[in-house]
Amino acid sequence: MMMKNNNVTIHDISKALGIDSSTVSRALNNSPRVSQKTKDKITSKANEMGYQRNSLASKLRTNKTHSIGVIVPRISRHFFSSVIAGIEETAFDAGYDVIICQSLESFEREKKLMETLTSNRVDGILISISMETTTFNHFEEYQKQGFPILFFDRPCALADSTNIIIDDYKISFEATEHLIQQRCQNIVHFSGPKELELYQKRTNGYKAALVKYGIPVREEYILESHLMQEDGIALAKKTLELPEVDGVFSGNDTAAISAMQYLKEKGIQIPKDIAFVGFSNEPISAVMEPSLTTIKQPDFEMGKIASTLLFEQIKNKTNHTENQTKILEPELVIRNSSRK
């Protein structure tokens, strides 16, 4: 098999065939200005000589790299890896490369990644913003350069933005209602940073369920953190300091699982003493003991929808779509951690 030779140029093929280099270039780009017979002759010689197209030069000429950037908080989270799988499947079919980055929940790292992707001239960006992100100038600057940016999972309050999200309020109401129907009356909520709209909606759904069933809303029962593994342990300790807690609705599975493990070590029986509901359906939630009731998000579908919309914006040369928001429906998956 002939090995590709990056040193072979169009001018080398032109010289070997005695054909003008401009004709060789047109033939290799399948121009209708060149006859099929000549195209076949030039293509055959190019393959024989091991010619390989300089795709970077071609992309620079067209000002399109056929690549997109994806920024997620953490690739290790099952939800985000599944979203990425949906993005990559759609991108592959559309002929796009995907550059994947993780902010690690850092605002400064997120800004730096935006600069890096911009300098690499990606055609568009998909992003789930970090927990520290409360200002959006770095996104506005990208838009001003004429490139589309689309937000998923964590909505962004940026003017003229496109957001693909789930109904966090509704599903959080259902999760809390489920605990109430399991005879829980003193329910703690593990919340993420309240500056993020996503966690505001989850907290509001929790509160609305309490109000519906005549249960007092106690702010001291709403515990805020970044919902990491170590946060779950700290939240479990705070939970034990509160009177008569019999249920926990956690803003993610990670904090819920570490909290459950800590409480079990302290002799707390789950769900008999404290019932638990998590959020995001991490794979471990189904196999731990007891299995964790949680919320399944349409992650793969979200990735496909988000990337499809981004490619439409790239094709139509628009960098926004008038505050377009698409809401997907999640599902409450009931398991043993909440069955009293």
Signed CA dihedral, 97, 103, 105, 106: sign only:
negative
* Contact predicate 154/163, CB 8 Å: no
User: Which of 241, 129, 227 minimizes the C-alpha distance to 186?
Assistant: 241
Tokens 């966090």 found at: 168
Q: Round to whole Å and give the CA distance between 247 and 103.
A: 32
Cis, bond preceding 148 (omega within 30 deg of 0): no
Q: Round to whole Å and give the CA distance between 211 and 311.
A: 43
* DSSP state for residue 106 in the 8-state scheme: -
Helix (H, G, I), strand (E, B) or coil at 127: strand
* Contact predicate 171/209, CB 8 Å: no
List C-alpha distances in Å: 301 to 102, 144, 156, 246, 272.
20, 29, 20, 35, 36
Q: Name residue 67's amino acid.
A: S
Q: What is the pTM of this model?
A: 0.81
Tokens 């559309």 found at: 94
* Contact predicate 247/260, CB 8 Å: no
Max alpha carbon distance in the chain (Å)? 90
Tokens 């593990």 found at: 190
Q: Round to whole Å and give the CA distance between 256 and 279.
A: 8
The backbone torsions φ and ψ at residue 146, rounded to the nearest 5 degrees and listed phi first, read 90, 15
* Contact predicate 103/71, CB 8 Å: yes
State both tokens at 53.
């197209």
Q: Round to whole Å and give the CA distance between 37 and 46.
A: 14
* DSSP state for residue 288 in the 8-state scheme: S
> Could you tell me where the beta strands, DSSP code E, fall in the chain?
67-72, 97-102, 124-127, 149-152, 162-166, 187-191, 222-224, 247-250, 275-277, 294-296, 325-328, 331-333
pLDDT, one tens digit for every residue, the chain (340 residues): 344 455 788 888 989 999 988 898 888 877 888 899 999 998 898 888 888 766 555 555 556 778 999 999 999 999 999 999 999 999 999 999 999 999 999 999 999 999 999 988 899 999 999 999 999 999 998 888 888 999 999 998 887 789 999 999 999 999 999 999 999 999 999 999 999 999 999 999 999 999 999 999 999 999 999 999 999 999 999 999 999 999 999 999 999 999 999 999 999 999 999 999 999 999 999 999 999 999 999 999 999 999 999 999 998 876 555 568 999 999 999 999 999 8
* Contact predicate 318/148, CB 8 Å: yes
